[in-house]
Structure 1
């Protein structure tokens, strides 16, 4: 028992080291824009600040409610005396640790001839290696593993899918059906409540695998229990979204446009070509293909139901999700994240002990542990430097806005970053180019202002079409930003739209 406890604790320590190395590498690349500055990436932090400030809550969310992500971020904000960027950095590490925990569940119980802790670490390292090959600043790039480090791009849903696979595996390995079915149903409920994409990533493909597996009489009862828990939990999750309907500005139904499947093929083909245009992109693709190949081989070789289920999931999830995304005519790389996280499940499908002398295994583990601990320790200041990198342009905007003691506005991609870092975020109202309130991933109480007296713009700002004729009294230069100060002139806000 003591050795098992020590081994599990050691696994978590090594996983933390891997997470630090990966987070520092991604945060030190151009991908830092996605972690710390991207308009979409900031919603959880803005929502968390609103909750902690006790603001009246009238939020306009997308189809995703970010409930687990916001809970974790808010908890970190309460527990740690850090600014927003530092919290983003800590969240990146926490997200990877959560993925390790889910992978450890998938790897199964420790028994003779198995090394689930070691292989869970290998799986996390493989996923981290994929993330470290992703270095662009684009949210639309086919760079999917690094999205797990953000607070916004479905990190909790990724963990939920892997947890569902792990619980199903434990059920097939002989765990008690009733309690595990309830746990699986709870995971499906919470995941679907927060993000209905769980149904497409987990319920449908895993349901297909389970139905195929139920043809075998020996596992039929357990397979059907898994199917019932997944479907029941997912259905309850959709029902639980009804009380949040006032917050959901877009149900997501409009994202499905099957008649655009040809355009979808072209879109994803262009992203694939762009990914292959860099050496690191080629490395990432080869690693992904190697993992998928391993999963297919294991599907044929393994002989127990739990291992086969995980091996099949490792290649079926990417296949069905990619086909489904194209069939629905989608145009968003983030929907394809199973292509990054599912293949690493091949490494924990059958986590057998390596065939080498025990002494040599211990020595190899000791060397690997020292390397990881040193690498993790050296990554802390690197990650800290990335999180604390000065942004003089954004600081110029926030300082000017706070000194003005007035309310201004800006378009979505422009205004999100300075809005987050203001002491009073309501001083910057989110609008479209016609000054209509843009109710998207924001608290609608901001629109109570009714008028604004300055506008913030940058290269992402569309040409203004103001409701009244007005010329700014002054244009304040803040590097990549400009502030159009209209002085005493009040610009009226138009009706809200999303």
Structure 2
């Protein structure tokens, strides 16, 4: 279309405004702890700092390697001379923009009587509505939309799953050449699985089921089977690619599957649903998701093209199959259910027809009003983001200053040590240990365990009671607000053998 690039630009600018608004709101609530201070959430900035500052590559990662997330954070750190908290919040904005890009891919090409840009912006706005209803600092709640704003909780996998559906739609909508798009699908599946095998559960299996049902129609069979083979093939390549990286992987993920515990898993997730629905904002988020699921089923039934049917079916089948799978495998982590939040958004772009509710003149006025509201909202949100990024943490500053000046090596447990460790001039001064003072090799640089003894212990209210004997050692207690430093110098306590 003649002015198509203008629409695309306006779509990206609208998405950017929504991203800033959502990030500003989330960062202004207790959820900011999850973005900026949670032990899990800090693995990517810790890893990127280690690599960029030459502190070593010998990292102990979980099942997830965070490769795309680390690459993005590294680019932001190299490009922007700002603090860690500010980088994390900029990364949150980028993640929401990436969500828009993925949804825009799913919406398909522009054409007569089609408004894929407007519907893509609407889908991201729906995501924003859900995200801003999430206020707690808990990582174990059904507040799943705001997890996309972190660098840790599978943001790249979410984007990759949506992109996979978008690529499949493009293949369905284009009657001619499709080999290039199939190859791209295989590459996305391979790279995502290489970094996070959860792609197998979120995309390969459920999308494979959707493609399998679609292949029952004789005229759709060749195209759907081709998509299925490339999706499965890419996933297998990604899993094989993890083999050379096993030295970094402390947990293969197989131990998370405990099918015999499915009743406990069902009860656990049921309890999270009850907890989520215990607040008015929880009901708002739930109603939005329920409405999108109903729309998805309706558009599946009324779909007139392969692409529409594929997207609409994915919007409700992914959440359904992921929930069933999570319970059947006996899992107990809320973050595994993220497709319940992001997949239903695709119902809005399954059939992005132009709505003729207003005259062209009124439509232009409405568009201008929405643009002004987004601009004002984004403008008001920037100070909130700046405040969250620069708010002083005197307790943290006290700990960091004491350790930097002490020239000592100390120890702290996972949830206690990670935030100070990230902000130290030399992160190796604070060794991650368990409550028995054995090295805890989990989401950390293993070079830290070159230290064989420590002369101080760091604790806070998340620290499990230490199980060790200090004998007749003299202990000086340093109070730093929520932190307590137990200074043993000049005495030292030996570290035990590292474990994961």
Q: Same fold (TM over 0.5)?
A: yes
Whether contact under 8 Å (1:467, 1:491) holds in the other structure is: no
1:390 counterpart SS class: coil
Q: Per-residue displacement from partner, 1:301-329 (whole Å, max 9, x unpaired)? A: 12111011000000000000000000000
Deviation for aligned residue 1:55:
1.9
Deviation for aligned residue 1:363:
1.7
Whether contact under 8 Å (1:115, 1:353) holds in the other structure is: yes
Matched, 1:139 2:139: yes
Task: Tell me which residue corresponds to 2:262.
Answer: 261
Q: Per-residue displacement from partner, 1:271-300 (whole Å, max 9, x unpaired)? A: 111101111001111111000000011111
Deviation for aligned residue 1:473:
2.6
Whether contact under 8 Å (1:177, 1:222) holds in the other structure is: no
Task: Tell me which residue corresponds to 1:114.
Answer: 114
Matched, 1:286 2:293: no
Compute the RMSD of aligned alpha carbons: 0.9
Task: Please give the TM-score of this superposition, normalised by the length of structure 1.
Answer: 0.99
1:92 counterpart SS class: helix
2:216 counterpart SS class: coil
Task: Tell me which residue corresponds to 1:367.
Answer: 369
Candidates 464, 467, 487, aligned match of 1:465: 467
Task: Tell me which residue corresponds to 1:301.
Answer: 302
Once the two structures are superposed, the pairs formed by residues 445-464 of structure 1 within 5 Å of their partners are 445-464=447-466
Task: Tell me which residue corresponds to 1:486.
Answer: 488
Task: Tell me which residue corresponds to 2:38.
Answer: 38
Matched, 1:425 2:433: no
Kindly report structure 1 stretches of 4+ aligned residues shifted beyond 3 Å: none
State how far apart, in whole Å, the 1-side matches of 2:296 and 2:410 are: 54
Deviation for aligned residue 1:388:
1.4
1:112 counterpart SS class: coil
Task: Tell me which residue corresponds to 1:497.
Answer: 499
Q: Per-residue displacement from partner, 1:412-449 (whole Å, max 9, x unpaired)? A: 00000000011111110000011100000001000001
State how far apart, in whole Å, the 1-side matches of 2:288 and 2:392 are: 35
Task: Tell me which residue corresponds to 2:243.
Answer: 242
Whether contact under 8 Å (1:172, 1:306) holds in the other structure is: yes
Whether contact under 8 Å (2:100, 2:120) holds in the other structure is: yes
Number of positions where the alignment pairs a residue of Structure 1 with one of Structure 2: 498
State how far apart, in whole Å, the 2-side matches of 1:234 and 1:59 are: 24
Q: Per-residue displacement from partner, 1:192-220 (whole Å, max 9, x unpaired)? A: 00100000000000000001001112221
State how far apart, in whole Å, the 2-side matches of 1:470 and 1:323 are: 56
1:476 counterpart SS class: strand
Candidates 476, 489, 500, aligned match of 1:474: 476
2:432 counterpart SS class: strand
State how far apart, in whole Å, the 2-side matches of 1:461 and 1:233 are: 42
Q: Per-residue displacement from partner, 1:215-252 (whole Å, max 9, x unpaired)? A: 11222111111101100100000011111100000011
Deviation for aligned residue 1:56:
2.0
State how far apart, in whole Å, the 1-side matches of 2:335 and 2:414 are: 19
State how far apart, in whole Å, the 1-side matches of 2:474 and 2:180 are: 65
State how far apart, in whole Å, the 2-side matches of 1:358 and 1:222 are: 39
Once the two structures are superposed, the pairs formed by residues 187-226 of structure 1 within 5 Å of their partners are 187-226=188-227
Deviation for aligned residue 1:470:
5.3
Residue ranges of structure 2 left out of the alignment (5+ in a row): none
State how far apart, in whole Å, the 2-side matches of 1:218 and 1:110 are: 25
**Farther off after superposition, 360-369 or 402-411:** 360-369
2:340 counterpart SS class: helix
Once the two structures are superposed, the pairs formed by residues 299-448 of structure 1 within 5 Å of their partners are 299-356=300-357, 357-448=359-450
Q: Per-residue displacement from partner, 1:91-150 (whole Å, max 9, x unpaired)? A: 000000000000000000000010000000000000111110000010001110000000
**Farther off after superposition, 467-476 or 153-162:** 467-476
Once the two structures are superposed, the pairs formed by residues 19-58 of structure 1 within 5 Å of their partners are 19-58=19-58
1:489 counterpart SS class: coil
Q: Per-residue displacement from partner, 1:348-368 (whole Å, max 9, x unpaired)? A: 100110123222222211111
Task: Tell me which residue corresponds to 1:228.
Answer: 229
Q: Return closer, same or farther for 1:486/1:107 CA change in 2, 3 Å cut-off.
A: same
